[in-house]
Every structure is written in structure tokens, then in C-alpha cells.
Structure 1
């Protein structure tokens, strides 16, 4: 689940923190990086467990409604949402239950949030359409949760505040983690029952090694990278760049020089996007131009044995 996009962002953040905290202990900083990445995986499990929490909340409301209907002699309420087949499969998922047991967290600790979110869902058109749809199968059950997640969980200020209280490491990760939760919902297969695999923490040991190396190269070769920035910033006032811009370029140059399999254009594009999200409004343009100059300089001096696709290397701002 932890992909290179998230690794790049975390490496930039932890490199910035490395210079800000003053201790300059690279071993401790590297452990902090890996711990921060692991917390993103914890959030992934916690957000999947939210679906289970909402489903349990729906069953509590169903029990009350059933008791009332029985007492008043009215029609019994539908169990369709409370016993949604996808949600029940997720509730029984072995891997998710193990992850949540390790975290020692439960959505039962946030009853008011669950109740409010459940009521928002039941008042929506998505819920109404699902409950009245004649289609009653696993695919429909899974699809309604994909829609609910995108509408009520993906952009939810109350949830964002709650997650921030739960972990300081969860401030900036949710947008990326949301994409993996949605991917997981889509790939669930009814036939796999409780044994359905969730996304692994890392796709491969190579990605974990990439995180370690990227961070170390960025720190250990900082002076060399700063010299390159200064040397190639003819059209930019290097001294006036935001400090975060310098950190972003420092990590980008580390990737350019140290990972031969990653195309230059990919590196430039990825770090320009990070600049747009985490630095100043003009940072994307500055960093695109400077990294392009640095890459050409490294190629011309024989230090970088890669090529730039000149048709695509400029980012449209």
C-alpha cells in the first residue's frame, strides 16, 4: 500500500524536520521516517474498520426499529443495509481484525461520530436508491459502500479532526490513503470470504529499501546538491527560494542521481506536485525549471546516464 508517492512526501517532510529539530541524528530520523510510513498503513486499516463501525451502528438502529414495529404491530424494517454482504465480509476479515487488534483502537470509542455519520448516510439519495433498488446482490452491496465512502468519508471535516486527534502522523496522509481504501473495496471478492487479502504494507521490500536510501542520500549528499542548485539557478534567485523548495529539490536530486530505473521526467513531475501541495503557490514553476536545468547539466557533464524526453519534460502550470 505504501507507494512511492507517499514515500516521496514523507521523505520531504522528514528531511525538513531533520534540519529543524537540531539533533541531526540520521539513525533516529530514519526510524522516524519508517514509523511515519507505518502509521499511514494503520490509518488504512482504521478507515476500513470505519465501514464496520457504521454497519454495527446501523444494526443498533435496526434493533430499536424492530422492537418498535413489533410493539406497534407495523411492518418490520428492512435489514438490507445492516446486513450488507460486503460490510459483513469486511467485518469478518481476518487480516483487518488482526491489524485492528494490533492497533488497540476501536470505533466504538467514538459513538457520537458514528451516529452522526450513520444518520447522514441514511438521509442521502445514495441510501434511498440502494434500499429501494430491486437489485439485491453482492455487487450492489459493494458498490453502495464505494459510493458512501467517496461521498461521506473521503471529504469529511469531522473525520479529519478526529483522525488528527488520534495521531499526529495522520494530518497529511488521508487523501492518499483514501485511494487505497477505495481500491480495496473494489477488489473484494465474495468467494474469498474472511480470507480476502487487504493491500500489504509495502508492495515489495524494494520500496522499503527505496525509502531508506532516498532519505539517506538526500541528507548525506546535501552540500553537493545545494551546490548544484546554486550553480544552475541562473534565471532564479536561489537565495530567495522558500526553504521547503530547497528541501524538495534536494530530495528530487537524490532520486535523480541514485535510482537509475526511475525516469528523470517521473522524478521532476512527482516533486513538482509535492511543491504545489506543500510549498508556495509559485513553487511548482520554480522547481520544474530548476530541476530541468539541473538534469540537463548532470547529463551534459556525464554524471547522469539518463535521458530527458524533451517533448514532455516541462510541466504545464
Structure 2
């Protein structure tokens, strides 16, 4: 589920926390990293839980419409199929998934009135009204669930619900959105644990992420010694903490990650600097990394596997 870009962010954040709290030793730092990995998966589960809960409000809407003395044309044809369709019901009846929800106490973490508010805002949307006015296939039901989730992404209240529980929502949002689509399209699934395939894979989270974290942590002094000569008129102590962390991480990728092209590493850390550090960090990180890479290559220290990886 997680990309290297997301993992870089998590490694950077953990190293920053460690820099600010010297009481965090190597074991604690690794533990904090894996908590962030688990949080990303919990965020996916929480998003699925919220989606199910919003659709369930369609049953309240149905009962309210059914009890009217003077029903409208829409009241007469209304069905709670946003909730009763086979995909949502497959999630509701999935014991493994429901146990996860219970273990994480999701029901106690959100006011149910929030789900009603989001549903009733969505119920005014033209695509939903058209959906209600006709017989629909499984594909059309799926498209409406995706439409609901797209609406949720635009909803200020929905974003507040997620952000209140998960600080990583902004970092992981794009991947969560993509994974939600995969989860819905896989329904109904034969295996109750089908959703576990979206837990961050070991190659990305452990072989790359934990390795990068430990290398940057344990080689800190060596990495600083490599960076200082390139800083020229800059005092290492005056370099922004995040910028220094990113420089150290990038060097580790240059030296110890043979399958990642040097250009990819350089571009990714420049983008990280742009998104997470100071206004001048993008140019600073780009310039220093370019010099560092040239220096490392001149000493034949950068070993990449595969044709063209040094420059691509």
C-alpha cells in the first residue's frame, strides 16, 4: 500500500523526532517507525469504517421517507441500496474486518451525527438522485460508492474526522484513496482477510524503510563528515534540521540502495524539501545533493545495479 515516497516521509519524521528527543535510542526509534507504518494501515481501515457508517444512514433516510403522510415521488421510489448493495453488505458481514473495527474502537471515536450530516449533504447530489431513480447493476453500485468517497474527500467535515484521529492523513491521503478503490472493486471477496493484502509490504516497509532508518541513524557522524566539506560558507549547525536529515537520508540511498536510480533519489528529496521544510530548502537541498553525488561518484562510491541507474 505504501510507496517509497510515503516511507521516506515517515523515516524523516521519526529521525526528526529522535533529533529533538535524545532520549529516543535506536530501539525506540525503530518502534516509532513501525507505529507510523501501522497507523497508515489503521487509517485505511478507519476510512472503510467511515464509508460503511455513512451508507448505513440511508436506512434512516428510508424509514423517515416511508413514514411520511404525503410522500414525494422520490420518497415513493427510494430504497436504501447505498447500504443494502452486495459490496457494503460483504464488508458488514466480514467478521475479520468487523473485529478489527472493534479492536480499534472506531465506533467510540466518531460522533454518529457526523455520518448523518455527511450523508444528508451527499443525498442532495445529482448523481445520487439519478442513482435512486433507476434499477442499478453491481457496476453502477460500485460507481456510486466511489462517487460517495469522492464526495467525502471534498467534505470538510469528513476531513476533520480523519485528521482528528490520524495525523498522517495528509501524508497518506492519495494512497488511501487509491487503496479504497481496490478494496471496493475486490468485493464481494471469498477470503475474509482479503483486506490484509493492503498492509504495507515488507520490501517497502522493512527492506527499504527500516533499513534506511537504521543506516541514517547509525551512520550519523560519518554522514555529517561527508556533508560538512560541501557546505562551503554554511555552518552545519545553522542548516535546518529537516534539511540535514534529508541530506543524510539521500546519501544513504546513494551509497546503500543499489536499485534506486540516483536521479530518483535526488528528485525525491528535493520534492520532500519543497513540501516539508523552509521556503529556501528546495534549492539548498538540490545544490548540496548535486555536489555530494558528484563527489561520491568521483570516488567511485556509488554502486548501482542495472543499466543506466547512475544517471536515470
Both structures adopt the same fold (TM-score exceeding 0.5): yes
- TM-score tier, shorter chain, comes to 0.7 to 0.9
CA distance in 2, matches of 1:133, 1:23: 62
State the TM-score, normalized to the length of structure 2. 0.86
CA contact (8 A) 2:118 2:157 kept: no
Match of 1:22 in 2: 22
State the TM-score, normalized to the length of structure 1. 0.84
CA 1:57 to 1:26, structure 2 compared with 1: closer, same or farther past 3 Å? same
Match of 2:11 in 1: 11
* 1:197 maps to 2:194: yes
CA contact (8 A) 2:78 2:132 kept: no
Cα shift at 1:262: 1.6
CA distance in 2, matches of 1:87, 1:282: 47
Matches within 5 A, 1:52-91: 52-68=52-68, 75=76, 77-91=78-92
CA contact (8 A) 1:92 1:194 kept: no
CA contact (8 A) 1:229 1:238 kept: no
CA distance in 1, matches of 2:134, 2:152: 23
| Aligned-residue RMSD, C-alpha | 2.9
CA 1:126 to 1:194, structure 2 compared with 1: closer, same or farther past 3 Å? farther
Cα shift at 1:25: 1.1
Matches within 5 A, 1:244-259: 244-259=242-257
Match of 2:172 in 1: 173
Cα shift at 1:294: 1.4
CA distance in 2, matches of 1:77, 1:145: 17
CA distance in 2, matches of 1:270, 1:41: 23
CA 1:33 to 1:18, structure 2 compared with 1: closer, same or farther past 3 Å? same
CA 1:301 to 1:127, structure 2 compared with 1: closer, same or farther past 3 Å? same
CA 1:129 to 1:276, structure 2 compared with 1: closer, same or farther past 3 Å? farther
CA contact (8 A) 1:264 1:308 kept: yes
* 1:110 maps to 2:111: yes
Comparing 242-251 with 192-201, greater Cα deviation is found at: 192-201
Alignment gaps of 5+ in structure 2: none
Match of 1:315 in 2: none
SS in 2 for 1:173: helix
Match of 1:149 in 2: 149
CA distance in 2, matches of 1:161, 1:274: 24
Instruction: Give per-residue Cα distances to partners, 1:229-277, cap 9 Å, x unaligned.
Output: 222345x746453221111121122222122122212222222222221
CA contact (8 A) 1:189 1:196 kept: no
Cα shift at 1:47: 0.1
Alignment gaps of 5+ in structure 1: 313-317
Match of 1:278 in 2: 276
Comparing 136-145 with 206-215, greater Cα deviation is found at: 206-215
Match of 2:137 in 1: 137
CA contact (8 A) 2:216 2:252 kept: yes
Cα shift at 1:102: 2.5
CA distance in 2, matches of 1:247, 1:12: 7
Match of 1:127 in 2: 128
CA 1:173 to 1:220, structure 2 compared with 1: closer, same or farther past 3 Å? same
CA distance in 2, matches of 1:85, 1:107: 26
SS in 1 for 2:80: coil
* 1:261 maps to 2:262: no
